[in-house]
Structures are given as C-alpha cells and as structure tokens.
Amino acid sequence: MVEPPKAQPLTDKFKYGMPIYSIAWPPGDTFYLCGGGGSTSSGIKNRVVSATCKNGKLSDQTGEYLFGKNCPMRMVVSPDGKFLVVAVSKGGIRVLRISKDPNVNPSARNSISFTEIEVDQSPFHVPSPASTLAAVTASTVKSNSSSLLRSITSPAATLSPLASQSLSPSQVLLPPPIPPKMHEVTSLAFHPSGHHMAFGCEDGSLIILNWPSLTVLMKLSGPSALPSEIKDLDFHPAPQNPSAVPFDSPYWS
C-alpha cells in the first residue's frame, strides 16, 4: 500500500522560483500564484503553482501547471473555486480545472492537480483593418490556360506568381492562414453571480463573456474601445432590487 504524501513543513516566507505576476486566493488556506521568465529561454518556467498558508505560515508548492513559452500574467478563481482563468502574455486566456485529492493533506506536495480546458479564443481576436484584408472570395482555374483568376477584396493585393503557370486545382497552393492577433488581457473579474466575466485589454478593449460557455455578451473593440489600457476592473455589487438593473455594468480604471 502506497503511503499518501505527508504535509510539508510550513515557514514564515517562501520563494517559489519565479517572478510572481498575479495571485488568487479564494476562501480557505489554498492560494494560487502565476509567473515565470517569459517567452525567452531564461531557464525560469512559466507556470501556475498552488500553495497553502495557515496561521501565517507558508507551504512549498502543492501543485503546478506549466505554460511553455506563454507566460501567465493575471488570473482569477471562479466563484465556485473549481476553475482558474489565466490571462497569458501572447494574448487570450487559458482555463484550468482545479482538482483536490480529499484523501491527501492540503499542504502535501501534489495534493492539487490542474487540467486545461480547451476554450474558444475567437472573442479575443483583434479585428483586422479592412484595408489590410486579402481574403480570397473565389478561385477559378481554367484548364489549358495560363491564367489563374482570383477575386480578392484588397485593392493592393496582387496575383500569385503561380498565375503565370498552367495548374490543376490540386496543384494550387495558397499560403497558410496567418494566425489572428490576440488581445492581451490586462485585467479580469467574475460577476458576483458567477454567470459572467469581464476582461480589460491593453488596447482599451472591453469584453464581457457568459460563464462557463464563454460566449460573447458584449465587446467594445476597435473604434468602440476605451482610449487607453484597462489596468483593473470589477463589477458593481448586485443591487437590492436586481430587476431594476438589467445588467450590472463593470467599473474600470
């Protein structure tokens, strides 16, 4: 029979081996830290760790999740305590499910595990200016012809060098799509009800999503964005008469 991990000794202070960019502490003794060395090969891992604090004493990490070269910058715990929503340096968010082993001491190493949930990142795509779009709307190849006809929305776009060759449809190779640029999330918060999330971005965009579906409830971006970076935001506390306010607008700073 394998003996369960023992509780780690607690101490007044502890270094978790990384620059710390954000902390989230739901009710209880367990808290979460995120940070790392960024996208460069600094040797410092980009990660989320969990630890405990009891009577002013800190434990070593009790769980860990690695992010590769995408550094976790900000995070918040869902009101039910089951998920971490993490904003990362390359834009967009990552969602981790938190699992706690009830048979293991909370301050023991590996008493907490994280599982990443795949989420739709499209709400965090930065809209491309119409003048830079080169979307292919049609492609026609005529056999025994030296021309390749394409209808392209951008007036500045030119035909591919392949157009001078006689090609079959199976031989036409278009360049791979360019990954969309992502909004860098600089602040995030849950609505007290746990049904919505607000995200403030570096370019002043404000995004409000339903939780946990992460479908868009409201998005102010591009010309509708705020004039500067949203460094912090929160929801107004629920009114005594909820029917008087259809939706609690977030306050930002």
Q: What is the pLDDT of residue 150?
A: 40
CB atoms within 10 A of CB 248: 17
Cα-based distances in Å from 209 to 67, 199, 249: 23, 8, 13
pTM of the predicted structure, to 2 decimals: 0.74
- Does residue 8 have a pLDDT over 80? no
Least confident of 3-7, 145-149, 202-206, 242-246: 145-149
* pLDDT at 219 (0 to 100): 95
Distance CA 29, CA 108 (A): 13
pLDDT single digits (tens) 52-105: 999 989 999 999 999 999 999 999 999 999 999 999 999 999 999 999 988 888
Residues 125 and 230: their CA atoms lie apart, in Å, by: 17
Structure tokens at 43: 């040797």
Q: What is the pLDDT of residues 177-226, one digit of tens each?
A: 778 899 999 999 999 889 999 999 999 999 999 999 999 999 999 999 99
DSSP line for 174-187 = PPPPPPPPBPPEEE
Question: Which residue, chain included where needed, has tokens 């056999």?
Answer: 143
135: which residues sit within 8 A by CB, 6+ positions away? 152, 153, 154
pLDDT for 133 beyond 90: no
**Average model confidence (pLDDT) across the chain:** 80
Q: CA 247, 203, 91, 46 torsion: positive or negative? A: negative
Provide the pLDDT for residue 104: 87
